[in-house]
Amino acid sequence: MRAALVFTGGAGGEVTNEKAIVVGAGIVGLALARALALRGHEVTVLERHQRAVGASLRNFGSVWPIGVADHVYERALRSRSIWLELLRAMRIWHEPCGSLHVARAGDEMAVLEAYVGRNRGARPCRMMSAAAALARVPALNPAGLHGGLLCEDEVLLDPREALRALPACLAERHGVQFRWGTAVNAVDSGVAHAGRERFQAERIYICGGADFEWLYPEVCAAAPLTRCKLQMMRLTPEVPGFRLGCSLAAGLSLVHYASFAALPEVRLLRARLQREHAPLLEAGIHMLVTQNGQGELAIGDSHAYGQTLDPFDECAINEKILGYTRQVLNLPPARLTQTWHGIYAKLTDGGTEFVRSAAPGVTLVNGLGGLGMTLAFGLAEELVEDRYRPCG
């Protein structure tokens, strides 16, 4: 039964007092919980672990609109706006510092110039000379530096801190209930089963992340879903006060992100990188460096795809990542404090999200790839407000 209520917070859409269940407390599940609660739903999040421990925790901590395709750019900006609102409310460190894509060859500059030309007036980005790039990030290696692309959209946060604080924020501000350590083993229309417990709701969203076969395996088996494993590391600089100044990417990133893929200039760049950096491309490596409020550097990453992935991390991959990073950046003396891998669900058909109705009132939401932090909040609002339209 729907109630006619006046809604005064967030985007438009009819407001209801229906019950809603979200299965999974990663960033997609938390984004849906927020969007549902803002529109008057009584929301319960069921999470089998005692806290979030998946890919939402194991990333660079970057809201990264520069990496998204044009058709989801507005979604990324909406997510960015929501992140900033929540981070301020939670009083958590964050930095809207933007990003710098560094060019160390003429073909990389050509891709960046084409990107700026295509997005003039649409995205806040501009070219920088080598001198300007060095002024922005003094730690860059000046040898071979051609210039760079500066974008103002990107925001840094610490995912470990944010994912720890966000459930409490949603509970306090919006009345979202969390049931930690509650493993859902079956879902039917209107009910989620967790052992002997039954949770009833008019709407159920399943956000299983890398465990996408967990519920409704037959739906996921027919979908173009695979898994991606990435390796990352964290370094603590031993130089007091060392700051990058913004997120840093380089040439390998230009053949990785969908926002650059449509540019004709990328084809020539890819061919040259294949000749000069074949082992890096084979391991799916592209360099991204971010820095959190404590000064720690997150550096990565690699990409391995498959339904079943090797549980062991390869030191050789981390060495390749660091080797390429040192070509771009004069890393200060630093301690290697953490290494890890994350695994997320990714679509193999180039799609940006996997949304399926598995049964009346039951929706699977997954497959945002490595851009969950960037797209989840905007996607959640579209879904809850019935504004979502799949592309392609």
pLDDT in tens, 21-62: 999 999 999 999 999 999 999 999 999 999 999 999 999 999
**25 vs 244: CA distance, rounded Å:** 31
Locate the domains of the chain by residue range. 1-95+155-223+352-392, 99-152+225-347
Helix, coil or strand: residue 315: helix
The token duo for 39 is: 């529109």
CATH 3.60.15.10 fits 99-152+225-347, yes or no: no
Q: Which of 255, 323, 329, 341 is nearest to 291 (CA)?
A: 329
Q: Which CATH architecture has domain 1-95+155-223+352-392?
A: 3-Layer(bba) Sandwich (3.50)
pLDDT tens string, the chain, 392 residues long: the values are 223 222 223 444 455 679 999 999 999 999 999 999 999 999 999 999 999 999 999 999 999 999 999 999 999 999 999 999 999 999 999 999 999 999 999 999 999 999 999 999 999 999 999 999 999 999 999 999 999 999 999 999 999 999 999 999 999 999 999 999 999 999 999 999 999 999 999 999 999 999 999 899 999 999 999 999 999 999 999 999 999 999 999 999 999 999 998 899 999 999 999 999 999 999 999 999 999 999 999 999 999 999 999 999 999 999 999 999 999 999 999 999 999 999 999 999 999 999 999 999 999 999 999 999 999 999 999 999 999 998 75
Task: Write phi, then psi, for 56 (nearest 5 degrees).
Answer: -65, -25
- Give the torsion through C-alpha atoms of 263, 377, 370, 203, to 10 deg: -120
pLDDT in tens, 102-152: 999 999 999 999 999 999 999 999 999 999 999 999 999 999 999 999 999
| The pTM of the whole model exceeds 0.85 | yes
The amino acid at 110: A
